[in-house]
Structure 1
Amino acid sequence: MAAPMVPPNAWTGMAAGLAVEELETELLLEAVFQRFGHDFRAYDRQALRDRLARVLRTLGARTLSGLQERVLHDGAEASRLLRAFSPAPAGLFDNPGHASRLRTVLAPSLRGWPLPRVWIAECAGVGEAWTLAIVLAEEGVLGRLDIHATLANEELVAEHQDAWLPLAELEAARERHAGSGGTGDLAAWFEIEDGKARLQAQLRRRITWSQYSLVTDASFNEFQAIVSCHALADFGPVLRQRVLRLFHDSLARFGVLCLDQPLSVADAHAGSYQAVAGERPWYKRVG
């Protein structure tokens, strides 16, 4: 059966609609950059459309132009939009396979360094940072370690610095913790009060939360490991290369790099890395 014919004027209308949407997107991103200093202009276009579509549904806005007006004039609406571009919060030990690799790849690589530093770039909240801290404590390397957890969203950084989790989330993570190779009682690493749980102070002190943009900021330290599980998939090709150069400038030789997407031969400094076998892309810098 032949496909129905689409009238030429329908194609013209569809093209015009896409052109208007693209123009609205560009104007919104420019407005966000000029007003709030957050630069999403080099993000992958499909990733942008998906996120903006979710924001439109959540806020009940009909068009991106209408969303732009609300964002520029309402602080609460701006906050919701900016949060939509941050990584979704990760649960405690939400990926036992990844946590297991932290034990088998990351922890051994840090033992040979006198004062190792780990950077979690675009950290997915306290679930990701606390999981890392607990794993490294259980593997005996946390006592001489600095963990730097960064996010572009300054509002989220402030929230994570003194965060608590509902006790139910800690209970739900017990099985995942055991599945990652954890031993002992997960709750032993937490302070529990009024139905809430917070990582022990001795571990929290090892985590420095700070505002940092992968899009605009320069290298700020040398690290023995960089973990970036929530960034590259959102970035367009130019921004991807920019961030990979940034990671290379920030990673010590023989340090390890964990990414959310594998490197390709065309990527910046790809020849400087040796892949570490496993499910998620891990690399050791050898050049």
Structure 2
Amino acid sequence: MAASIVMPAMTAAQAVEDLEIDLLLEGVFQFSGYDFRGYQREPLRQKLHGLMQADGMPTVSALQDRVLHDTAAFESLLRVLSGQPAPLFDNPGHFRALRDSLGPWLRSCPSPKIWIADCLSSEEACSLAILLKEENLYDRTRIFATVSNESLLEEASGGCFPLDRMPEYEENYRRSGGQSSLASYCIESEGKALFIPELRRNITWAHYNLTTDASFNEFELIICRRRLGDFGVALRRRALQLFHESLPLFGMLSVDTTADLSATPFDSRYKPVCAEQGLYRRMV
């Protein structure tokens, strides 16, 4: 008699959980249209485990039951899977690289447009606005900040941040090459720091989904530094193709380093401007 094959306990548990995750993501997509099915599995699993632990749920199936019947739980899930908002000048090296390379390119364009894809905070958009203002480029440049999670759009576009983060942000600003004082771009309002209206007037906020939507304009610079790392291979290639279609020749692309533009077919399309900061120029 042939011996029966018994799967190791951990492997069997993993297979069951993978099925539960598939069902959860499919349920979220069918229920709301938000599509996380093509995201990298292990980072996504860790985020789900964090939610489960916080709410005392033993299985992904229990989490699925909660999020499909409880609006607050569903919003919490979307928030976790949508990523973390970027602090003000969160990567000073990135903004220094932009200061060094962006000016000459934008000055050669009659009406420059910049797209910040999956921009989850006013801090991210206003970091760029401050840079453009100090390089005398803001008045003629339009910034489009898009958010894939429509429920977070109002929060992301609010234009304020906690006052207690000002010392940290001031240091980031200084290290990024800031030419003034960060406090000159903010006012205190209801216990928070609020970006001045002048800094926000050229920023247009909109709902846009990188996983499903098509190109909607041509941009001299596209920034997507905190999302591609969550995508699986197919979604990441789709997003990079979308960005390529939305850039003119010599347009600039700023992505997180996980995007890997050295891979075919993107290796022949771009020239590194500052590869260690994920900054590239379209050449084809």
TM score, norm. by length of structure 1: 0.92
The answer as to 2:59 corresponding to 1:57 is no
Q: How many residue pairs end up in the alignment? A: 280
Letter in 1 for 2:277: R
Gaps of 5+ in 1: 1-7
Residue 95 in structure 1 maps to residue 99 in structure 2: no
Residue 269 of structure 2 is matched in structure 1 by: 272
Match of 1:156, SS state, is helix
CA distance in 1, matches of 2:10, 2:90: 41
Mapped pair 1:234 → 2:236: no
Given candidates 181, 191, 194, the residue that maps to 1:185 is 181
Identical positions, percent: 45
- Contact in 2 for aligned 1:120/1:129 (Cα 8 Å): yes
> Which moves more between the two structures, 165-174 or 113-122?
165-174
Matched, 1:200 2:196: yes
Residue 282 of structure 2 aligns with which residue?
A: 285
- Unmatched segments (≥5 aa) in structure 2: none
| Paired residues of 1:29 and 1:39 also in contact (CA < 8 A) | yes
| Matched position secondary structure for 2:249 | strand
Task: Report the Cα distance in structure 2 between the residues aligned to 1:109 and 1:145, rounded to whole angstroms.
Answer: 12
Superposed CA deviations along residues 90-117 of structure 1, whole A, max 9, x for unmatched, are: 2212221122122112333212111111
| Larger displacement relative to structure 2 (132-141 or 108-117) | 108-117
* 1:29 corresponds to which of 2, 18, 25: 25
Partner of residue 5, structure 1: none
Q: Which moved more, 1:65-74 or 1:115-124?
A: 115-124
| 1:229-266 CA-partner distances (Å, limit 9, x unpaired) | 01211111111111111011111111100111253443
The one-letter code sitting in structure 2 at the alignment partner of 1:220 is: F
Q: Distance in 1 between matches of 2:264 and 2:239?
A: 10
Q: RMSD over aligned Cα, in angstroms?
A: 1.7
The correspondence of residues 114-193 of structure 1 with structure 2, limited to 5 A, is 114-193=110-189
User: In the alignment, is the contact (CA less than 8 A) between 2:121 and 2:157 conserved in 1?
Assistant: no
Output the CA distance in 1 between the equivalents of 2:33 and 2:26: 10
Contact 1:92 1:170 in 2 (8 A): no
Q: Which amino acid counterpart does residue 283 of structure 2 have in structure 1?
A: V
Report the counterpart of residue 108 of structure 1 in structure 2: 104
Deviations 1:19-47 (A, max 9, x none): 11010010000000000110011111112
Q: Are the equivalent residues in 1 in contact too, given 2:129–2:138 (CA < 8 A)? A: yes
Q: Residue 222 in 1 paired to residue 218 in 2? A: yes
Q: How far apart, CA to CA, are the structure 2 residues paired with 1:236 and 1:108?
A: 35
* 3-state secondary structure, aligned to 1:85: helix
Shift of 1:143: 0.5
